[in-house]
Amino acid sequence: MNHDEIIAATVAYVKEELRSAEGGHDWWHINRVWNNAKLIAASEEADLLVVELGALLHDIADSKFHDGDEEVGPARATAFLESLQVPPRVIEAVVNIIRYISFKGGNKKAAYTSPELAIVQDADRLDAIGAIGIARAFNYGGFKNRAIYDPGIAPNLSLTKEEYKKSTAPTINHFYEKLLRLKDRMNTATGRQLAAERHAYMEGFLEQFYKEWGGFTQRFH
Ligand code: ADP
Ligand code: NI
């Protein structure tokens, strides 16, 4: 199979696998990440097949929806790519993207890095901020039956990964706990540039949100 045939087969597979996914993690999320990844890759030195397959397969079995099991995604992607006879070297690079894309950074050193992971991670993070990011956050919050906002519940900026996963905080808190912090974690120049605009849009959204909520409310910063 050539590049285009592998990509077409993967698109068909991912669409089928994600047909009943929650709206923020559906095929359209994958489609946006794929497009952003190609855009970023145009200014980077990277293996485009690995970038595209990584973008297409990165959420194939998110552990959030599989009882925390981190191995379902890598296993499914490996089986699928082997069925297309994709070279083992490419499969390994793609599986590493799936494994390490959600790495939170912080003080710990990343266990794996690659130019292709850097690109797909930026593309995925871009889709979590800006207008799309706002839509996805409230969609996810609704899916989890979270409050939109509660002036009495302040964001917690030092949640561990486990606490963060279990958190039932209002969706506005997620902006402070995660979304507003993403622009400083971008890996590539193109990613940083795109993130700046989306970040400013979220700040404007929050200003307007508090204004509409009423004059006496506590504002988070
Ligand atoms: P990643 O898979 O890139 O680590 P997540 O799966 O945690 O990121 O988030 C995917 C989408 O779901 C993002 O748009 C994110 O904002 C949203 N999301 C995740 N957790 C929450 C939450 N607690 N409240 C609102 N939105 C959330
Ligand atoms: Ni994603």
Give CA–CA dist 213/22, Å, rounded: 28
pTM of the full structure: 0.91
The alpha carbons of the chain give a radius of gyration, in whole angstroms, of 18
Closest ligand 1 atom to residue 133 Cα is: 14
* Mutate which of 124, 136, 199 for ligand 1 pocket (most atoms within 8 A of beta carbon): 136
Measured in Å, residue 137 CA sits from the centre of ligand 1 at 6
The ligand with the least distance to the CA atom of 159 is 1
Where residue 183 falls (left for φ over 0; alpha for ψ -120 to 50; beta otherwise) is alpha
- pLDDT of 165 reads 77
> What DSSP element (H or E) covers 193?
helix 189-213
Give me the domains of the chain, ranges plus CATH numbers: 1-105 (1.10.472.50), 128-221 (1.20.58.1910)
ipTM of this predicted structure: 0.93
Angle at CA of residue 184, ends 178 and 185, nearest 5°: 75
Helix, strand and coil content of the chain, in percent to the nearest 5, comes to 65, 0, 35
Dump pLDDT digits (tens) for 176-215: 999 999 999 999 999 999 999 999 999 999 999 999 998 6
Residues in the chain: 221
Per-residue confidence band for 49, with pLDDT thresholds at 50, 70 and 90: very high
Measured in Å, residue 147 CA sits from the centre of ligand 1 at 15
* Ligand 1 atom 9, closest CA: 128
Judged by average pLDDT, the poorest of 44-53, 62-71, 131-140 is 62-71
